[in-house]
Structure 1
Amino acid sequence: MASFALSFQSKRDDESGLSAFYNNKTTIIQEARVFNESPISPRKCRALLTRIVYLLYVGETFGTQEATDLFFGTTKLFQHKDSALRQAVYLGIKELAASAEDVIMVTSSIMKDMQPNSEVIYRPNSIRALCRIIDPSMVQGVERFFKAAIVDRNPAIASAALVSAYHLFPLAKDVVKRWVNEAQEAVNAKASTSFFGASSGGYLGFGGNASNQQAAQTIQSTSYIVQYHALGLLYLIRQQDRMAITKMIQQLGGGKSGSSSVLKNPMALCMLIRYAAKIMEEDPNMQRQIFEMLEFWLRHKSDMVNYEAARIICEMRGVTAAQLSKPIAVLQLFLSSPKPVLKFAATRTLASVALTHPASVAACNVDLESLIADPNRSVATYAITTLLKTGNEASVDRLMKTITGFMSEISDEFKVIIVDAIRSLCLKFPNKHASMLGFLSGVLRDEGGYDFKRAVVDAIIDMIKFIGECKEQALSHLCEFIEDCEFTKLSVRILHLLGMEGPKSPQPTKFIRFIYNRVVLENATVRAAAVSSLAKFGVNSADEKFRASIGVLLNRCLDDVDDEVRDRAALFLKTFTAQPLAEVYIKDDSVFSLAALESKLVAYVKDPEAAAEPLDVSAVPKISRAQAAQDAARPSTLDTIGVPTTSKVSDAPPPPSIEETRSVYAAQLAAVENFADYGPVVNSSTSPAQLTESETEYQVTCVKHIFKEHIVFQFNVSNTLPDTVLENVVIIMSPQSEDCGLTEDFILDVPSLSAASSPSIVYVSFTRDSPEEYATASFSCLMKFVSKEVDPSTGEPEEEGYEDEYQLEDAELSAGGDYIIPSYTTFGAEWDRLRGGATATETFALSAMESLKAACDSIIEVLNMEALGGTEAPQSTSVHTLNLSGIVSGGGGKVLARCRMTFAKGQGVTLELNVRGEKQEACNLVLAAVGG
């Protein structure tokens, strides 16, 4: 038996080696001579084409000459009439066309198979292949072929033409737009019977009994797939015209009730539902009508359509519990479905809804309980996470026991989902922290990847932060974890946490062994983090004997092989004898924002007058060390930031940080010659103000740039009308108060603005009459331009145009958002330092605020300052304190605000705002921001 197994294994190895040789690129190129044999062997050629396509699918690449030789060798096979070979030829042509040269030469051969009198089996393949090799200038020449194919009664031909038109649209928009009538006809067409035939007894090939007729109808329904492809092409053509999209949804959806929908294909209906959801999000006036259509689709005969409508309603912004009742009822029915895919979709959606509306989802708890033991562990995972979000405190222990039983049976992806649910549950039921911490510490010792272990560590850190009772035990579990942790990032993060929280514990000495073990056993990065953590224990301890012991350990690190570890040990030993150094390098948890510091240094080097004076870093904002670590880990987006646009891209890169955005704005302004004498930018608003509605034909946003003696308004203007060009675009700004402290200098217009060149920038510059004061004002804005129609034949604007204007929303120059820069600091120490500086205190009545949390969010938004504590106002208290920190641009210096609030139901929030700063003007500015 053993010998048989050995020989079998050996045979498998031989097969693997043969397969590698069989699908080798060099071997395939040598064997391509079979394309030139006479007579042609269809079997050999099909096998070789299959191997070529396989190599391309697995990521292999052919050189340009190699691909060209294979491509034209493949085209020789057009001479043979074997239908299976012809299909393989088209597949090879499609894949090789991307890297071969002179592929257009085969156009005539492909177009022969596109003729209406050619074989039906060839036409769809030829249409798809022609789409890949055709030149944009040739699209108009084959337009009649595509138009005829789109309305063909054969669904395979029509679908191939529609999908090819979809891919051709970016290359020849004007030509494809002319096919809109054919695409509309394809959407409205009845299901074709050309594949089935008709007979008196039912469909051809089926008997007259009910079961066979049902099978025939099922097959026939697949021909409606043309509607799916046609709908996608129609939306692509009309996507810039919101009114046309709205009309299409109304027509195809069957009006308000959706009862007479033209669409019969479930996938087409699902796509229409998604388009409707997008319109509903962008146009509030359509919400009621589309919501009625969505509710009708909840009763559709297709499960796919039911689910899509339910999901869209559940994900609506501002959806109420009453609106959720019907979609949740549909999802509840899916929970008892025999189809695993329906149970999975329903539980996943309910798990998402439970985050915001747990009470509405609680009605499904009985059905979710039955899914805990479901053989599909993905379904069971979502069922348990939903129960964790909707259950009560009494059910926590039972659910935790159930979860522990199958954690080893699921993938890391679903483990992370469960851990995130428990993370939120910890804060919901803090009294159950013991069982939840026990579970988290247990899974932390299990096998798993980085994402899973990071999720567990995040959950434990949150418990340390928000549940003081479990801090000691949680830190002990993390200490045990880093003994065997294989992930450097997690070890460094935990060591930093131990350095912050360990010295505050009743017995800080018990953590020293775990930290020093890292100095002895780990890599240089972890050793350096361990040295920093040890130093924090020494500096924050009042016990001289304990400090001396830490000093002995740090002295041993002076002989480390890594220079970073040695330098840190030497620095921290020095701080033991120099308390001011300890305050700066150990106790201070803030660092300069690197992006802001870089921008400041660049401006300093470029300005010859400023170079004569020392660099002033007091105006550079600071961030916490934790935030600095996150910024270092995220990819740079400096090259991706342009003028803000309104398009939504699902796979867009992560948003840039505030300082990266300011740096890009500074670079844009430096490139404008008119601003050369203005000096460096002091501050730029990072959230563009929307001055138009999102669905209008012209879209304008405003960004404000503060200079020492000037203020520049940047208007990002977009034109969404493809058949109109705007020329000489300017923004006329009129202050609503004559004495606003600003004098207009000039306007930099946009000479020409088309849909293709959108967005473009209009600059309006003002001089600050008193640079030492912080001017605030409200401006009415009017966009003026010359509108010209585009000639569809030439694509050029007509010579004659007409002057037009467009009223915009008011632009506000505010006290807080435009002059104050958020900056992190240690609030207690800095508040005491500014005790003898400028101060200001005032009391405000915030009667419109319905809670302390709402008041906190509003104050942070108005003042644009860094929240250092008190952002989460508990509902159980009526008294709360919020601490804020910032830097006033233009030399205003640091400013801190302590907001003491009291809440009384029916009376709102009473705010006592106490401000301390380095200058009195800065304190007055903060009060003006709230009072205004």
Structure 2
Amino acid sequence: GRRGGEPMEPPLPGEEEEEVTNVVPEKAAMLLEPLPMSFAHLEKAVKLYAAHGGVEDGQPLSIDALPVVEEPVAPVAKGDALSSNPSVAAGGAATTSSGGLSADAEVVDAAAAVYAIPELGELGRVFRSCAPVELTESETEYVVKCVKHILDGHVVLQFDVTNTIAEQQLVDVSMKVENSEPELYDEILSIKCDKLVYGVQGSCFVVLARNPEAPISHASFNCELEFRVVEVDPDTGDIEGDEDGFEENYPVETLDLNTADYMAKVSLGDFRRAWETTPNDCDVEEKFALQQFKKLEDAVENVIEFLGMQPCDGSDKVQHAKKGAPHPLYLSGKFVGNVPVLVRAMLQLDSSQMILRICVRSQDEAVSRMVADCIR
């Protein structure tokens, strides 16, 4: 729950070190301006930019015009090859064992399926693609997972469906969704998958228009697969019986769309420099009591997950110097619309209660407020 009181800001990384003033000539300073991303990230961003018409619009190429390239996420043991590495699924590239992008990594664009369909390509560039969410168990007759593609004014829900029944062919496959937040999202388009043969994944899509006047908040969607079943010979694939088949509905798990889905996990370069060079007039400060956490490690992990941001300066690792000592947490990211966001937080177990003090800094007060409101 939220609590009142003045938040205590953690020190910035390196703040305890002695200040050293270096006089740098103006021309040299321009050359020394750090890139806000690694060269591997820059290379991938340029490739993605060129792949989707960026070089054809006649506009000069700039860092801000490039697609965001998110930081690699540690592989998850569960699931198949696609879902086991969220960074690849979410438009990342293959990673090295040390967690960084490898120099010759293949560029994997999770939004390629969106750009391949003319009606979806017209919506504009995808800001980020979330890692696939499984909406069924992997052993069920119809396996469904969803990739949420975030655009400036829309969300494209890509439902990947696999038919695991050899005696069936699915026809006119679509996903019916019921939206918990009609003031925020309006379904404007549904694209069917014409045919699903045994064992071959296909995709259907639902497009949501987002109301720009409404703050982004959590929404849930009840999802039900709708299709016709045509019986086939499992050996030859030839249709047996009625060619029209029979209609079938198949409910799947509820899909959540969170504010954190709109946040790209990217580094903004040196955290202290980024913090000090961003104006503070849109800061949002809050203090929360996180009743559900009794361990610092759990609280740190969940705050990062709530916000969907990239930890900086190793602050996601808890150092147990002294029991009850506060733990500083530094996070960075880019919110939809390419808005850089920085977070300074302090977590402390105080009289068996986990206290979170947080300051969100961006150049858009509405964005700072939406990010702070992610804590629940």
Cα distance in structure 2, aligned partners of 1:747 and 1:600: 27
* Alignment match, 2:186: 743
1:602 shift after superposition: 4.1
SS of residue paired to 2:38: strand
- Contact kept in structure 2, 1:590 and 1:623, CA below 8 Å: no
1:797 shift after superposition: 3.0
* Alignment match, 2:285: 841
* Alignment match, 1:665: 110
Cα distance in structure 2, aligned partners of 1:862 and 1:653: 20
- Contact kept in structure 1, 2:285 and 2:359, CA below 8 Å: yes
* Cα distance, 1:606–1:920 mapped onto 2, change above 3 Å: same
Cα distance in structure 1, aligned partners of 2:291 and 2:192: 44
* Alignment match, 1:630: none
1:78-98 superposed Cα distances (whole Å, 9 cap, x missing partner): xxxxxxxxxxxxxxxxxxxxx
TM-score after normalising by structure 1 = 0.33
Cα distance in structure 2, aligned partners of 1:756 and 1:903: 51
- Contact kept in structure 2, 1:681 and 1:705, CA below 8 Å: yes
SS of residue paired to 2:182: coil
- Contact kept in structure 1, 2:91 and 2:129, CA below 8 Å: no
* Alignment match, 1:831: 275
Pairwise mapping of residues 473-872 of structure 1 onto structure 2 (< 5 A)? 578=27, 580-581=29-30, 583-585=32-34, 590-591=37-38, 593-594=41-42, 595-603=44-52, 605=54, 608=57, 611-612=58-59, 615=62, 617=64, 620-621=67-68, 647=80, 656=88, 658-660=90-92, 664-685=109-130, 687-739=131-183, 741-757=184-200, 759-770=201-212, 774=216, 776-792=218-234, 794-800=236-242, 801-869=245-313, 870-872=315-317
1:676 shift after superposition: 3.2
* Cα distance, 1:580–1:621 mapped onto 2, change above 3 Å: farther
Pairwise mapping of residues 177-196 of structure 1 onto structure 2 (< 5 A)? none
Aligned mate of 1:910, from 340, 355, 364? 355
Cα distance in structure 1, aligned partners of 2:89 and 2:65: 21
Cα distance in structure 2, aligned partners of 1:779 and 1:654: 22
1:40-72 superposed Cα distances (whole Å, 9 cap, x missing partner): xxxxxxxxxxxxxxxxxxxxxxxxxxxxxxxxx
SS of residue paired to 2:233: coil
* Cα distance, 1:602–1:622 mapped onto 2, change above 3 Å: closer
* Cα distance, 1:837–1:916 mapped onto 2, change above 3 Å: same
1:776 shift after superposition: 4.2
- Contact kept in structure 1, 2:220 and 2:254, CA below 8 Å: yes
Gaps of 5+ in 1: 1-504, 507-539, 545-574, 628-644
Cα distance in structure 1, aligned partners of 2:38 and 2:189: 39
1:768 shift after superposition: 2.1
Aligned mate of 1:885, from 325, 332, 342? 332
- Contact kept in structure 2, 1:600 and 1:620, CA below 8 Å: yes
The alignment covers a number of residue pairs equal to 334
* Cα distance, 1:910–1:733 mapped onto 2, change above 3 Å: same
Cα distance in structure 1, aligned partners of 2:181 and 2:274: 38
- Contact kept in structure 2, 1:712 and 1:763, CA below 8 Å: yes
Matched, 1:899 2:331: no
SS of residue paired to 2:125: coil
Letter matched to residue 811 of structure 1:
L
- Contact kept in structure 2, 1:699 and 1:719, CA below 8 Å: yes
Letter matched to residue 220 of structure 2:
S
SS of residue paired to 2:359: strand
Indicate the percent of aligned positions where both proteins have the same amino acid.
Answer: 25
* Cα distance, 1:735–1:753 mapped onto 2, change above 3 Å: same
1:338-384 superposed Cα distances (whole Å, 9 cap, x missing partner): xxxxxxxxxxxxxxxxxxxxxxxxxxxxxxxxxxxxxxxxxxxxxxx
Cα distance in structure 2, aligned partners of 1:865 and 1:846: 19
SS of residue paired to 1:679: coil
- Contact kept in structure 2, 1:820 and 1:863, CA below 8 Å: no
Gaps of 5+ in 2: 1-16, 73-77, 94-106
* Cα distance, 1:542–1:838 mapped onto 2, change above 3 Å: closer
Pairwise mapping of residues 48-63 of structure 1 onto structure 2 (< 5 A)? none
TM-score after normalising by structure 2 = 0.77
Cα distance in structure 2, aligned partners of 1:712 and 1:543: 49
Cα distance in structure 2, aligned partners of 1:743 and 1:735: 8
1:829 shift after superposition: 1.1
Structure number with higher relative contact order (C-alpha < 8 Å, ≥ 6 residues apart): 2
Pairwise mapping of residues 229-240 of structure 1 onto structure 2 (< 5 A)? none
- Contact kept in structure 2, 1:840 and 1:914, CA below 8 Å: yes
Bigger share in helix: 1
Cα distance in structure 2, aligned partners of 1:788 and 1:646: 29
1:613 shift after superposition: 6.5
* Alignment match, 1:925: 370
Cα distance in structure 2, aligned partners of 1:894 and 1:754: 44
- Contact kept in structure 2, 1:837 and 1:919, CA below 8 Å: no
Cα distance in structure 1, aligned partners of 2:87 and 2:64: 26
- Contact kept in structure 2, 1:782 and 1:806, CA below 8 Å: yes
1:216-268 superposed Cα distances (whole Å, 9 cap, x missing partner): xxxxxxxxxxxxxxxxxxxxxxxxxxxxxxxxxxxxxxxxxxxxxxxxxxxxx
SS of residue paired to 1:714: strand
